[in-house]
Amino acid sequence: MSQSIAANPDRLLPADPGTRSIARSLLERVQDLPIISPHGHVDAAVIEHNTPFPDPAALLVSPDHYVTRLIHASGVPMDKLLAGGANPSESREIWRTFVQAWPLFEGTASGYWLRTQFDSVFKLGADLGEISADASYDAIAAKLVEPDFRPRQLFKDFNIEVLATTDDPLDSLASHKAIAEDPSFNGRVLPTFRPDAYLNIAHPAWGANVERLVDSAGDGATGYTGYIKALENRRRYFVDHGAVSADHGVLTPATLKLDRAEAERIFKLARAGKATAVDRNTFEAHMMYQMARMSVEDGLVMTIHPGSFRNHHQPTFDAYGADTGHDIPFATNYTEAIRPLLQDFGTAKDFHLVLFTLDETVFSRELAPLAGFYPSVYLGAPWWFLDAPDAMLRFRSAVTETTGFSRSSGFIDDTRAFCSIPARHDASRRIEASFLARLVAEHRVSEDRAHEIIVDVVDSSPRRVFKL
pLDDT at 1: 47
102 shares its domain with 185: no
User: Do residues 117 and 248 both lie within one domain?
Assistant: no
Mean pLDDT over the full length of the chain = 95
Residues 228/202, Cβ–Cβ less than 8 Å: no
**Domain final position from 102, 133, 149:** 149
How many CB atoms are located within 10 Å of the residue 262 CB?
A: 13
CA atoms of 371 and 374, how far apart (whole Å): 6
Q: Which pTM does this prediction carry?
A: 0.95
pLDDT in tens, 39-70: 999 999 999 999 999 899 999 999 888 899 99
Distance between CA 381 and CA 415 in Å, rounded? 13
Nearest Cα to Cα of residue 105 among 55, 143, 42, 60:
60
Q: Are residues 316 and 227 in the same domain?
A: yes
CB 129, CB 106: distance < 8 Å: no
Among 115, 149, 183, identify where a domain stops: 149
123 and 261, same domain (yes or no): no
Q: How many CB atoms lie within 10 A of CB 226?
A: 18
Write the pLDDT tens digit of every residue in 192-226. 999 999 999 999 999 999 999 999 999 999 999 99
Domain that holds residue 460: 174-465
> Is the domain of 137 the same as that of 197?
no
Model confidence pLDDT, tens digit, residues 378-430 = 999 999 899 999 999 999 999 999 999 999 999 999 988 899 999 999 999 99
The residues that bridge with 254 in the sheet, in sequence order, are none
Assign residue 388 the CATH number of its domain: 3.20.20.140
**Is there a domain that residue 307 lies in?**
yes
For the chain, how many structural domains are there in total? 2
Tell me, yes or no, whether 42 lies in a domain: no
CATH number at residue 122: 1.10.2020.10
Residues 214 and 79 in one domain: no
Residues 144 and 258 in one domain: no
The H or E element that residue 354 is part of is: strand 353-355
Instruction: Assess if residue 28 is contained within a domain.
Output: no
